Amino acid sequence: MNRAIKFKLKNDKIVTIRRIRGTDYDAVVKFFDKAVRDKSVKYTSLYLGQPKQNKDSFVAMHNNPNNLFLGAWYGQDLVGECTTIKISPENPKYRGLTAETGTTILNEFTSNGLGNKFKTIVEKWAVENGVHKLYAEVFHKNIRALNNLMKLGYNIVGIKHNAAIVDKELMHIYTLEKTLKK
C-alpha cells in the first residue's frame, strides 16, 4: 500500500489509512501511551508503563520494506495501528515466507470495521510480497480478536499454556495462522 485511503467506519466516522513512517514517531508514542490505558488491551501484551521504543530502531523498522506498518488517523490523531513483520527474510531457509501480524485500535474506534479493513490490506500486501502464511498470537480471553481472525479464515494451530498472567489469572496464548491464496 503506497497511497493513503479514506475509510468510513460503521459509525460514519472517516479515518485515513496509510503506512506509518519513521517521521510519525511522536504520533506513535502518543498513541501507545493512550492505548496502554485502554480497557480493550487488557488481554494483549501491552501494559501500563511499557518503555517507549528507541527512535533510531523505530525509524529503521519503519523504513524496512519487509515490514508493513499501517496507521489509521482520525484528524491528526493516530487511532489504530497494524504491524506486520516478515519472519527472517534474510535467512535463505525462512525467506520471509511467513509474517506475524498484530493490531491495536483505541477502544473508541473498535467494533466499527477497522480491524477487518487493516487485515484485508495486510493480506494483499503479503501476497504481493511473497508471504505465504500470516500468523497472529492472541490471549485466550481476547474473544474480539479471536472472532475477528477466525471469521477471516485464520485457524488456531497452537497453544502456549499458562504463558502470561492478567489480574492473577493465567492466560493461554493461541497461535493462529492463515495460508494465503496466491
Summarize as ranges the residues that interact with ligand COA (CB under 6 A): 40-41, 44, 102-105, 110-116, 136, 138, 142-145, 147-148, 151
Q: Which residue is nearest to ligand COA (CB)?
A: 115
Beta strands in the chain, from DSSP E residues, in sequence order: 5-8, 14-19, 67-74, 77-86, 98-105, 133-139, 155-166, 169-179
Question: Own/partner pairs for 147-156, CB < 8 Å, 24+ apart?
Answer: 148/115, 148/116, 148/119, 149/119, 149/176, 149/178, 150/176, 152/116, 152/119, 152/178, 153/178, 154/178
- CB nearer ligand COA, residue 17 or residue 105: 105
Closest CB 10 distance from ligand COA, rounded Å:
7
Please tell me the distance from the alpha carbon of residue 137 to that of residue 70, in angstroms, as a whole number: 18
- CB nearer ligand COA, residue 84 or residue 103: 103
Closest CB 77 distance from ligand COA, rounded Å:
15
- CB nearer ligand COA, residue 131 or residue 176: 176
Closest CB 37 distance from ligand COA, rounded Å:
12
- CB nearer ligand COA, residue 85 or residue 136: 136
Closest CB 104 distance from ligand COA, rounded Å:
5
